[in-house]
Amino acid sequence: MKLYELLEGKALTYLEDTEVKGITDDTRKVSEGYIFVCIKGERFDGHSVAGEMLEKGALAVVTDHNLNLGDRQIIVENTRDFYGMLCAKWFDHPERKMKFIGVTGTNGKTTITNVIKKILTDNGHKVGLIGTIQNEIGDKVIHTENTTPFAYDLMKLYAQMADEGCDYVVMEVSSFGLVQKRIGCTHFDTALFTNLTQDHLDYHKTMENYYQAKKMLFSICDNAIINTDDSYGKRLYDEISCRKYSYGISENADFSAELLNIKADGTNFILTNSGKKYNINMLMTGMFNVMNITGAIAVCVNQGISIESCIESVKNYGGVKGRCEVIPTGKDFAVICDYAHTPDAIENILINVKKCTENRLICLFGCGGNRDSTKRPKMAHSAEKYADYLIVTSDNPRNENPDDIIKDILTGLEGSKPYDVVTDRRQAIYHALKIAQKGDVIVLAGKGHEDYQILADNVHIHFDEREVVADGLELL
């Protein structure tokens, strides 16, 4: 591609007729004929190596200030924004070829995006999915490292989705992705907000920063679906100006859930919209899944799909891997695997499972290393408040000592419930299975869909809790 084509008239240099071989913000990928975009991150500023990249063969560098590199620098106001535009142009603007639905918030994003994809697919659409667990193009699964891929990878994925006939993309939009401009010039037809509770404060520092990051999505959408049962949702609903709809259990919500009947093997409830009531039966359990289904239906109705068709799609849907997932045991006790890794998520899963528990509710959990340490005692407090028995263990320790993480967790316990500390997570799960009694439910919180554990120096080891449970049952 010629440089003048790539820049689309936004910033021209004497090199405008030169052929561009590639674009990147990664110093390791720069080679002859590339455009290198200088991005300032938390630990590294690409501007500091701009000259080196030219020596390495870069055609030009994109910078946000004058680096005295003559005509081989392209000065722009914001290099992150500009890189997103370059990536979109490089892949022939795939973001203009499909309709986008974005879901943001602390909890519920994965379930909601998967339900939306199912409803749209059942109604004749080919859907791309971008999320925490995996990316999908129709039925094809693509591994992912980040909830929201980086700009170049995201546009490359968009292009693949467009080429393979997708007319919709349903996407979990992370606060990181929004603040770091990873989504480039993507515009969303509809955006949904689930809720906001403490998470990622190691990055955002304050809840206000976290909220403002999430709010960015609603400045680039045409329609908003907002959970107004959440205090931040109420605030967001009042502050945005696009067309908007509310959902929740409030009678005043545009999509309201009521008359709940939550059981261990499923849930039924009444959905009210525009004065009409609809009976919904689903295999998933828990109040949080009632909210997830209600939000997903609100999105799809906004896309012109009838509520009746939505209800038909969700009635046999079993849920998402690692989200309140029942792991078969063949015993007289149950094991549930859930991704809950925030205080609010722990509360949600335990409150809902408690309603279906005949005897004790046992919660096994830990906290990730090199992440927001202030939530560790809060996690313990939430677990102690709703579970009958606690097993405190390791999660993804990364470069922290697992025992130090556990010490932080234990400061949040008041001593009202019995607890055990088993640092090794595999042994902790074996211990939970060993002490389980008839009618108990064991909740394995924190790992969910993950089939790995992250140790020091970002070493990933295979760790699938479904397999660990199966191995533990063999030892009983």
> Per residue in 306-355, pLDDT tens?
999 999 999 888 788 888 888 889 999 989 999 999 898 899 899 988 98
- The residues of the chain that CATH labels 3.90.190.20 are 325-475
Locate tokens 């680039």: which residue? 220
The answer on pLDDT for 14 being more than 70 is: no
**Is the distance from CB of 305 to CB of 123 less than 8 angstroms?**
yes
The reported pLDDT for the residue numbered 365 is: 98
Domain 94-314 homologous superfamily, CATH: Mur-like, catalytic domain (3.40.1190.10)
Cα–Cα distance measured from residue 235 to residue 346, given in angstroms and rounded to the nearest whole number: 24
Q: Where in the chain is the domain with CATH 3.40.1190.10?
A: 94-314
Residue 148's pLDDT is 76
Query: Phi, psi (5° rounding) for residue 346?
Result: -60, -45
Give the mean model confidence (pLDDT) for residues 244-255.
Answer: 93
Is the pLDDT at 444 greater than 70? The verdict is: yes
> In which band, very low, low, confident or very high, does the pLDDT at 10 lie, cut at 50, 70 and 90?
low
For residue 125, what pLDDT is reported? Answer: 98
- Other C-beta atoms closer than 10 Å to the C-beta of 211 total 16
Q: What angle do CA 197, 131, 146 make, to 5 degrees?
A: 85
Confidence (pLDDT) at 352: 83
Q: What is the pLDDT of residue 287?
A: 84
Higher pLDDT, 284 or 454: 454
pLDDT surpasses 90 at 255: yes
CA-CA distance, 292 to 330, in Å (whole number)?
A: 29
Q: CA geometry: angle at 343 spanning 338 and 347, to 5°?
A: 65
| CATH of region 325-475 | 3.90.190.20
Q: State the alpha helices, DSSP H only, in 247-401.
A: 287-302, 307-314, 343-354, 375-386
pLDDT (tens digit per residue) in 198-214: 665 556 568 888 899 89
What percentage of the chain reaches a pLDDT higher than 90?
74
**C-alpha of 329 from chain center:** 29
Calculate what percentage of the chain has a pLDDT beyond 70. 96
Min mean pLDDT across 25-39, 330-344, 408-422 is at 330-344
CATH 3.20.20.70 assigned to domain 3-90? The reply is no
Residues spanned by CATH 3.40.1390.10 within the chain? 3-90
Q: Which of 247, 373, 264 is nearest to 299 (CA)?
A: 247
pLDDT band at 379 (very low <50, low <70, confident <90, very high): very high
| Amino acid identity at 336 | I
CA distance 386 to 460: 32
Residue 41 has pLDDT above 80, yes or no: yes
pLDDT at 459 over 70: yes
**Residue 27 reports pLDDT greater than 90:** yes
> Which of 9-13, 124-128, 218-222, 418-422 has the least mean pLDDT?
9-13
Strand pairing partners for 363? 390, 443
CA-CA distance, 138 to 125, in Å (whole number)? 9
Global pTM reads 0.79
Tell me how far apart the alpha carbons of residues 194 and 208 are, in angstroms, rounded to a whole number. 16
Q: Tell me how far the alpha carbon of residue 224 is from its chain's centroid.
A: 18
Whether residue 426 has pLDDT greater than 90: yes
d(CA 140, CA 189): 24
pLDDT for res 31:
95
| Section 96-123 average pLDDT | 95
Q: What is the pLDDT of residue 473?
A: 97
Q: Summarize the confidence of residues 424-442 as an average pLDDT.
A: 96
d(CA 83, CA 79): 6
> Distance (Å, rounded) from C-alpha 76 to C-alpha 65?
7
- Confidence class for position 215, pLDDT limits 50, 70, 90: very high
Instruction: Kindly report, residue by residue over 284-304, the tens digit of the pLDDT.
Output: 887 888 999 999 999 999 999
